[in-house]
Structure 1
């Protein structure tokens, strides 16, 4: 039997249009809607669905519970793009033993990390 593959995540919001616009502007997905107009952002082989739900608050009360990690080739360029989109940083870009990390806060209060791992860290994984 084949093992399950994590291929997508549903990010619920009281304002999915605003959230979709932020992710599209800040992170430049491969595509940002499907043929039916649903808010689906494609990042590599992973899909981020953004939709409305009645059982969520306007702001995430526990943003550290789930953090979206984006593996990037050029963290400095991605951070600059995010800044031009008006990002708020929880932790600005920093070097951690040769790898680069930054944590942003999306409009709903969720944490979004960009990570550029060094070759040394990749080999150790």
Structure 2
């Protein structure tokens, strides 16, 4: 059996319109229309839910990572979009990482791996 491909993520929230606007502004500024938001081939579906807390009480449980080629340019866009950084972009052994939170407190990261990082992982 081959590995599965992530096609979409369903995000439950008590404030779907605010979350949708945030995700479009920060991660998909060219996105228009309703429906799923395309995040580089993975679709984000934001859904109104009454069975979740207004803020994620355990944000480190799952972190959504975005691999980027120019982390400084991406970080500048995010600063201009008003991102709440939990860990500003920093150098680590495998490359450069920055961690931020969405309005519900879910954690996301941008990562620019060092050129030899993938070889080290393998």
Q: TM-score, normalised by structure 2?
A: 0.89
- Gaps of at least 5 residues in structure 2 are none
Q: 1-side partners of 2:32 and 2:6: how far apart? A: 19
CA offset at residue 45 of structure 1? 2.0
Task: Report which stretch shifted further, 102-111 or 90-99.
Answer: 90-99
Aligned match for 2:44, one of 36, 44, 48: 48
| Preserved CA contact (<8 Å) 2:28 2:38 | no
Which position in structure 2 is the counterpart of 1:100? Answer: 96
Residues 14-57 of structure 1, C-alpha deviation per residue, up to 9 Å, x if partnerless? 11111111111112266454xxx22x111222111111111011
| Preserved CA contact (<8 Å) 1:59 1:109 | yes
Which position in structure 2 is the counterpart of 1:9? Answer: 9
Cα distance change of structure 1 residues 14 and 99 upon mapping to structure 2, 3 Å threshold: same
Which position in structure 1 is the counterpart of 2:119? Answer: 123
Q: 1-side partners of 2:64 and 2:82: how far apart? A: 18
| Preserved CA contact (<8 Å) 1:104 1:113 | yes
Aligned match for 1:114, one of 107, 110, 113: 110
- Gaps of at least 5 residues in structure 1 are none
Q: 2-side partners of 1:84 and 1:30: how far apart? A: 15
Q: 1-side partners of 2:75 and 2:112: how far apart? A: 11
CA offset at residue 112 of structure 1? 0.9
CA offset at residue 122 of structure 1? 2.1
